[in-house]
Amino acid sequence: MQETMILMAALVTFIAVFIVLITIAYTMHGASPASERLDRIWNPALPEPEKSLKERHQEQARRVFSRLGKILPASSQRTTSRLQRLLLRAGFRRPESVLVFRGVKLVLVLGALAIVYLNDIHRVQPLSLVFAPLAGFVLPDLWLHHHIRRRQHRLRLALPDSLDLMVVCIEAGLGLDQALLRVSQELKLTHPELSEELKIVNMEMRVGKSRLDALRDLSKRTGVEDINSLVAMLIQTDRFGTSIAQSLRVESDSLRMKRRQRAEEAAAKTPVKMVPVLVFLIFPALLIVILGPAIITMVRQLLPIMNK
């Protein structure tokens, strides 16, 4: 009875903490992209509205987590730069993003310890005092890497369309800088991630950074292999003076071929990924359904003989 009460209390505490974390994530998450696009389409001339209640909650949550992140001891320069690079690849460019991330880790670790201690789980399982904080410390890193992979996938899918638009702009008489700016404006609704990255490249060139350095920063900031090859191609084209439009057209065809090959590779991996499911889930059920009646009949026939 006591163990049942402990499990019920742990379950209720877990549900409460889960609801709190979902609420925090909802307040920190931006507005719906679809609603933002519809507002920009139907009301293009309206001035920028004041911050909504959700945005104010986001700012407040960022300030709280940033202050919590300052409590932790400062990490080494190498660790901080690595975390900052990962946050940039995930799309978090605010100066306090590192502190916010560390604050979230601190909250999850303390929350896991509180759940384990207040529900007396450590008495039933002493190792929970080690594994629960460890899970709270590792979960933000796992979420960050997952978010980076999703964002890189969206950038990879948007690249061929952006190259086609860039070819059209260059053949229409625009320079490469003006073509990048135009493509970033045109892709604002369909591919906001790539549009934002190209806009940052234009802003860096406007403040005095050279085109080669801005493109190299784009490659480091995104970490996408296709963007790395595109940047290398643009740098070589600029150095050797070859046709940019022709190079971009060849690169676009190459990227589409790579995307087709990735799709074929994923389709070829499907049978291999289905083997564990078939062996451990479907095959035992079929074995029970097919051989179960025969085994029951054999047991009924053999048990009287064995008892004699």
**pLDDT at residue 31, as a whole number:** 47
**pLDDT at residue 189, as a whole number:** 87
Identify the CATH class of 155-260.
Answer: mainly alpha
3-state secondary structure at position 172? coil
Tens-digit pLDDT profile for the chain (308 aa)?
A: 556 666 666 665 667 566 656 655 554 444 455 555 555 555 555 455 556 666 777 777 778 878 877 777 777 778 888 888 888 888 888 888 888 888 888 888 888 888 887 777 777 777 777 788 888 888 989 999 999 999 999 998 888 888 888 888 888 888 888 888 899 888 888 888 889 999 999 888 888 888 888 888 888 888 888 888 888 888 888 788 778 888 888 888 888 888 888 889 888 888 888 888 888 888 888 888 888 888 888 888 877 777 76
Residues of the chain with CATH 1.20.81: 155-260
**pLDDT at residue 46, as a whole number:** 47
**pLDDT at residue 149, as a whole number:** 92
What single string gives the DSSP state of each residue in 51-63? P-HHHHHHHHHHH
* Two structure tokens written together for 307: 């008892």
* Two structure tokens written together for 87: 């946050």
**pLDDT at residue 287, as a whole number:** 84
3-state secondary structure at position 132? helix
Task: Spell out the residues 6+ positions from residue 264 whose beta carbon is closer than 8 angstroms to its own.
Answer: none
* Two structure tokens written together for 158: 């948007």
**pLDDT at residue 146, as a whole number:** 93
Distance, CA of 303 to CA of 240 (rounded, Å) = 88
